[in-house]
Amino acid sequence: MNRTEQLDQLKSNPHWDIVIIGGGATGLGSAIDAASRGYKCLLIEQYDFAKGTSSKSTKLLHGGVRYLQQGNIGLVLEALRERGRLLKNASHLSSIQPFIIPIYSLWEKWFYAIGLKIYDLMAGKLSIGKTTLLNKKEVIRDIPNIQQTKIKGGVLYYDGQFDDTALCVDMAATAIEYGATVLNYCKAIEFIKTNKKITGLKFYDSINDETIQINSKAVINATGVFTNAIMQLDDAHLHDYVTSSQGIHLMIDPYFFKGQNAMMIPKTSDGRVLFAVPWYDKVILGTTDTPIEKINIEPKPLEEEIDFIITHFNQYCSTPISKKDILSVYVGLRPLIKHDNIQSAKLSRAHALSVSTSGLITITGGKWTTYRKMAEDAVNNAIFVGKLIHAKCVTKDLKIVNPISKPSILKKIVSENPEMNQLIHENFDFIKAEIIYAIRHQMAMSLEDVLARRIRLLYFNAKVAIQVAPEVARIMSKEMNKNADWTIKEINSFSTLASQYIV
Ligand SMILES: Cc1cc2nc3c(=O)[nH]c(=O)nc-3n(C[C@H](O)[C@H](O)[C@H](O)COP(=O)(O)OP(=O)(O)OC[C@H]3O[C@@H](n4cnc5c(N)ncnc54)[C@H](O)[C@@H]3O)c2cc1C
């Protein structure tokens, strides 16, 4: 996965079957789908892969127990099927995660047990574990520091968990492996039209400060919360199609939440859902659902959102947390299909697809879990719009893998320079060779790409990420042949961003 090679590939052929705008889960999934069907496909992402919402999820592969409660059976069925497929197709970055719902009344016990039994049954052959009732002792055994007063027992159920950002990077590699051209730091800026139909695209490559124009038979807009902007680039008179709500997550040390089972609170005192989920050697707490007007690629947490999570987590666990215990706070924006007068929490999480009169295919909404189905729908429409010869979707069993063996590359980097075997930070087992690997094989272009989305230290511990930034930038500048100005600029801009992740 090398950017210069991808750019050469792009320049050797300006004619494409399908061009995809957006390098999050939906866009990368569409690139895999299109390339694996044999179409000539190009994907452009304005920043880095997964820089948008796709790196800021709760990292669950789920059918959405909550949507079952809302009676949205179709959505749950589809997501359960996709959960099962993703657990098989990306097994190196996903796993089955047991969840416990602590129970405080007999009524609750049967309500959740029956609901989750139905959820299990709906998964059919792709079921990943049986819902069972737990007594109080079993709940305490599995979550040793749960608040023990008033607890009557629990319900144990299973969902999936995954590494969203790492999966995006491997999805980019998989798309390339199937013949797609994939470029980060390229922003769509203008549609080219012939007889009012889209026939191409202009985009700006911010790494080389260059505007590039290409032709394409079909264009897919997979830009998440930026959907409106791209639709209005096509037709300035269009009303907003999506709206957005913000969700924050707090990363904490497992000292505050012990045990390998996650905890799910289906209804906090103010009616929201709260998760505490072990993730690598940390724990993610989340999330919130705050309607947002202004779209920002790096949204900021609100004080009241942080307070909500801390207050409610402390009601359920006996090792209370305060702001100083938060290692990192990250914030994502949900793209939600707009319906006037409906609260964001109640807006459907189903995906939607639209085709404009000029032929722009927009795919948005949905969930990470359902990205494959979203991609299949988008490419089916691109085939129709672009009048392409029909080829069947083959992604149901297609494995997402990085074809390069990371351990052998790391070994080679260390053999060239033994210093690269040193840890980046004493509390984390990332070695310096991983920085070189990210540059040579994962298209990392900036300090932020490495620290936020390749080794993800920013998410595990934002203060540590700032601490190691100068040394990581030094190694990067040497590898990438950059000067001192570049290094200083990278350290400054990364530190400014990372300070937003510190509470
Ligand atoms: C708080 C929160 C928690 C969530 N948790 C879960 C979960 O646990 N499980 C689950 O299944 N789902 C979850 N979701 C939903 C899931 O994360 C999203 O549905 C999914 O990531 C959306 O992916 P996307 O590719 O559509 O959008 P994005 O990831 O936002 O990708 C869109 C990309 O388009 C790029 N772009 C925009 N404009 C341009 C342009 N002009 N040119 C080029 N590129 C452009 C952006 O930079 C961005 O990278 C969660 C969402 C939120 C907000």
Q: Is the pLDDT of residue 65 over 80?
A: no
The whole-number pLDDT of residue 259 equals 81
Which of 368, 372, 374 maximizes ligand 1 atoms within 8 Å of its Cβ, making it the mutation to test the pocket? 368
The whole-number pLDDT of residue 379 equals 98
Residue 106 CA neighbour count, 13 Å, CB half = 0
Looking up tokens 């052959």, which residue turns up? 125
Q: How far is CA 475 from CA 337, 469, 479, 482, 498, in A?
A: 44, 10, 6, 10, 19
Strands 15-21 and 41-44, how do they pair? parallel
- Which amino acid does the sequence have at 81? R
Q: Whose CA is nearest to atom 49 of ligand 1?
A: 52
Q: Is the pLDDT of residue 346 over 60?
A: no
**Residue 172 Cα, ligand 1 centroid: separation in angstroms?**
15
Residues in the chain: 503
Give the percent of the chain with pLDDT over 90: 87
**Residue 440 Cα, ligand 1 centroid: separation in angstroms?**
26
- Of all residues in the chain, what percent are helix, strand and coil, respectively (each to 5)? 45, 25, 30
Contact 32, 180 (CB under 8 A): yes
3-state secondary structure 118-132: HHHHHHHHHCCCCCE
Q: Whose CA is nearest to atom 31 of ligand 1?
A: 24
Q: Where are the alpha helices (DSSP H) in 386-480?
A: 406-416, 433-441, 447-453, 457-460, 462-480
DSSP 206: T
The whole-number pLDDT of residue 299 equals 97
Task: Give the pLDDT band (50/70/90) at residue 344.
Answer: low
Q: Which atom of ligand 1 is nearest to the CA of 333?
A: 53
Q: Which atom of ligand 1 is nearest to the CA of 230?
A: 41
Residue 229 has phi, psi (to 5 degrees) of: -60, -40
Domain extents in the chain: 3-53+165-241+346-385, 86-160+244-334, 406-499
Number of neighbouring beta carbons within 10 Å of residue 235 = 12
Q: Is the pLDDT of residue 364 over 60?
A: yes
Task: Give the pLDDT band (50/70/90) at residue 341.
Answer: low
The whole-number pLDDT of residue 321 equals 97
Tokens, residue 275: 């998760």
Q: pLDDT of 125-146, one tens digit each?
A: 999 999 999 999 999 999 999 9
What average pLDDT does range 147-169 have in this prediction? Answer: 95
The whole-number pLDDT of residue 66 equals 74
Q: What is the pTM of this model?
A: 0.96
Q: pLDDT of 274-298, one tens digit each?
A: 999 999 999 999 999 999 999 999 9
The whole-number pLDDT of residue 345 equals 57
The whole-number pLDDT of residue 22 equals 98
Q: pLDDT of 106-115, one tens digit each?
A: 888 899 999 9
CATH superfamily of the 86-160+244-334 domain:
D-Amino Acid Oxidase, subunit A, domain 2 (3.30.9.10)
Q: Whose CA is nearest to atom 19 of ligand 1?
A: 367
Note the CATH architecture for domain 3-53+165-241+346-385.
3-Layer(bba) Sandwich (3.50)
Higher-pLDDT residue of 348, 104: 104
The whole-number pLDDT of residue 28 equals 98
The whole-number pLDDT of residue 272 equals 81
Q: Which atom of ligand 1 is nearest to the CA of 364?
A: 26
CA distance 445 to 415: 24
Looking up tokens 């001192």, which residue turns up? 484
Contact 371, 25 (CB under 8 A): yes
Task: Give the pLDDT band (50/70/90) at residue 149.
Answer: confident
Q: pLDDT of 183-213, one tens digit each?
A: 999 999 999 999 999 999 999 999 999 999 9
Which of 42, 54, 227, 297 maximizes ligand 1 atoms within 8 Å of its Cβ, making it the mutation to test the pocket? 54
Tokens, residue 414: 């260390």
CA distance 434 to 441: 10
User: What is Dmax (Cα atoms) for the chain?
Assistant: 71
**Residue 176 Cα, ligand 1 centroid: separation in angstroms?**
21
- Mean of per-residue pLDDT scores for the chain: 95
Q: pLDDT of 300-315, one tens digit each?
A: 999 999 999 999 999 9
Binding-site residues, ligand 1, Cβ < 6 A: 21-27, 44-47, 51-54, 57-60, 62, 187-188, 222-226, 230, 247, 287, 332-335, 364, 366-369
**Residue 215 Cα, ligand 1 centroid: separation in angstroms?**
26
Q: How would you classify residue 213: left for phi > 0, otherwise alpha for psi between -120 and 50, otherwise beta? A: beta
Q: Whose CA is nearest to atom 2 of ligand 1?
A: 57
Q: How far is CA 345 from CA 23, 341, 349, 429, in A?
A: 26, 12, 9, 38
What average pLDDT does range 376-386 have in this prediction? Answer: 98
The whole-number pLDDT of residue 340 equals 65
Contact 309, 285 (CB under 8 A): yes
The whole-number pLDDT of residue 64 equals 82
Instruction: Please report the sign of the dihedral spanned by the C-alpha atoms of residue 173, residue 221, residue 501, residue 283.
Output: negative
**Residue 71 Cα, ligand 1 centroid: separation in angstroms?**
25
Which of 226, 227, 250, 309 maximizes ligand 1 atoms within 8 Å of its Cβ, making it the mutation to test the pocket? 226
The whole-number pLDDT of residue 342 equals 58
- Which amino acid does the sequence have at 96? I
CA distance 249 to 301: 9
Task: Give the pLDDT band (50/70/90) at residue 72.
Answer: confident
**Residue 225 Cα, ligand 1 centroid: separation in angstroms?**
7
What average pLDDT does range 241-249 have in this prediction? Answer: 95
Task: Give the pLDDT band (50/70/90) at residue 338.
Answer: confident
Q: Is the pLDDT of residue 258 over 80?
A: yes
The whole-number pLDDT of residue 347 equals 58
**Residue 186 Cα, ligand 1 centroid: separation in angstroms?**
17
Residues with Cβ within 8 Å of 180's Cβ and at least 6 positions away in sequence, in order, are 31, 32, 34, 35, 41, 42, 43
